[in-house]
């Protein structure tokens, strides 16, 4: 093991000791309070040693990864773009064929419904004209059984390994209308409105809490900062 690796192992051991110290820490008086931050400064120093050790390794690894990724993207980007163009053109053709087929199906279904309706009316007319109850019942049963068949049109061409599925999506059309809708009791629109914590924190910092907005509370949080040793 190199001296450098031995050194980082020592740092890790020190960090482990400090973790054990933190878990057993009890602050009961001012001396404990001051002593706690004295050790916190040591922790920050140990942390810096650990980060500094890995920094050049990470940078070299990132440079290698970035170079490889750039080369990889040269081919994958072309492939992805070509695939997207081909899918878009094929999809538009399929959509056009499906629209044509659906229009044909609709017309054939309408004709089938008209034929069934005419047949049913003729049978009901015979019911009215029949003298015998037995004959009336016979025609009435036949009329009740007249149902137009469901017209099915053969789907577009199929390609092995290619499948299609429908997916419902949503897009924002008017944020003001959405927010108004979300204020209604038990409105499902509320699930589409999320609080932007980062933007809220920036607004709180810039305004120093001097503004009022219904539904949020500006407050002051104390953040403890400790400089490393020798700073």
Give 227's pLDDT tier (boundaries 50, 70, 90). confident
Q: What is the pLDDT of residues 180-200, one digit of tens each?
A: 999 899 899 999 988 899 999
The runs of H, that is alpha helices, within the chain are 3-24, 30-129, 133-144, 175-182, 197-207
Specify whether the CB–CB gap between 36 and 18 falls below 8 A.
no
Q: What is the pTM of this model?
A: 0.51
**Region label for 161, one of left (φ > 0), alpha (ψ between -120 and 50) or beta (otherwise):** left
For residue 147, how far is the Cα from the chain centroid? 45
- Using CA atoms, how far residue 212 sits from 147, 174, 203, 204, in Å, is 66, 24, 11, 10
pLDDT at 91: 87
Specify whether the CB–CB gap between 192 and 178 falls below 8 A.
yes
Q: What is the pLDDT of residues 34-87, one digit of tens each?
A: 999 999 999 999 999 999 999 999 999 999 999 999 999 999 999 999 999 999
């Amino acid at each position: 093991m190199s001296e450098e690796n031995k050194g980082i192992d020592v740092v890790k051991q020190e960090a482990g000791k400090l973790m054990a110290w933190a878990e057993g820490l009890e602050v009961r008086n001012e001396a404990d309070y001051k002593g706690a931050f004295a050790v916190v400064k040591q922790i920050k120093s140990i942390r810096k040693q650990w980060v500094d050790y890995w920094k050049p390794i990470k940078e070299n690894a990132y440079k290698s990864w970035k170079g490889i990724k750039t080369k990889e993207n040269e081919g994958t980007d072309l492939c992805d773009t070509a695939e997207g163009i081909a899918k878009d053109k094929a999809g538009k053709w399929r959509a056009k064929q499906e629209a044509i087929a659906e229009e044909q199906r609709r017309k054939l279904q309408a004709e089938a419904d008209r034929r069934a309706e005419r047949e049913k009316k003729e049978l009901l007319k015979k019911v009215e004209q029949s003298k015998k109850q037995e004959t009336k019942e016979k025609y009435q049963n036949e009329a009740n059984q007249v149902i137009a068949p469901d017209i099915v049109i053969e789907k577009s061409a199929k390609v092995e390994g290619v499948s299609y599925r429908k997916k419902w999506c949503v897009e924002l059309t008017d944020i003001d209308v959405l927010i108004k809708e979300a204020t209604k009791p038990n409105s499902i629109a509320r699930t589409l409105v999320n609080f932007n914590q980062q933007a809220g924190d920036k607004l709180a910092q810039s305004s120093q809490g001097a503004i009022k907005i219904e539904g949020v509370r500006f407050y002051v949080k104390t953040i403890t900062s400790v400089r490393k040793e020798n700073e």
